[in-house]
Amino acid sequence: MGTFSASLKFILTIVLGAFAFAATAIQQPTLMREFLSIARRVPEHFAASGLSDEYLVWVDILLGGDKLVFIGYLIAARIVVGLLAGLLGSIFGFGMRRRPVREPSPFAGWD
């Protein structure tokens, strides 16, 4: 059950993050352009730090503007899904593992 729950949360996070990313681009294009312009400046900061080209190429590949903004949306979606899962789990008792009742140790009274 734990693997199914984790997979469901992962898929829900990806879908929610992509939906939020697309909704922001459609509903608030100015805000999305601002996010993208800020994210495009991140690799420049790494380049100014004096990293060698073998590292800067990976910074350019992995931290492109649109990818970095999408990762930010995924992180925000993961936080929301985690909070909702924790809240709903505590209300409805999902994910609560019941520990078996253990008998007291016969050595409990020894000092």
The model's pLDDT over 23-75, given as tens digits with 9 standing for 90+, comes to 999 999 999 999 999 998 888 888 888 888 888 888 888 888 889 999 999 99
Q: What is the pLDDT of residue 111?
A: 61
For 34-63, letters b (16+ CB in 10 Å) and e give ebeeebeeebeeeeeeeeeeeeeeebeeeb
In-domain check, residue 47: yes
Query: Domain containing 69: what range?
Result: 29-93
In-domain check, residue 74: yes
In-domain check, residue 77: yes
Separation CA 7–CA 17 (nearest Å):
15
In-domain check, residue 23: no
In-domain check, residue 56: yes
| pLDDT over 70 percentage in the chain | 87
In-domain check, residue 36: yes
pLDDT at 109 > cutoff 90? no
Report yes or no: 69 and 35 within 8 Å, Cβ to Cβ: yes
| Distances from the Cα of 38 to the Cα of 11, 35, 63, 72, 108, angstroms | 28, 5, 12, 12, 62
In-domain check, residue 21: no
In-domain check, residue 2: no
Predicted confidence band of residue 98 (pLDDT cuts 50, 70, 90):
low
Q: What is the pLDDT of residue 6?
A: 85
pLDDT at 3 > cutoff 60? yes
Q: Tokens representing 16?
A: 């929610």
| Domains contained in the chain, number | 1
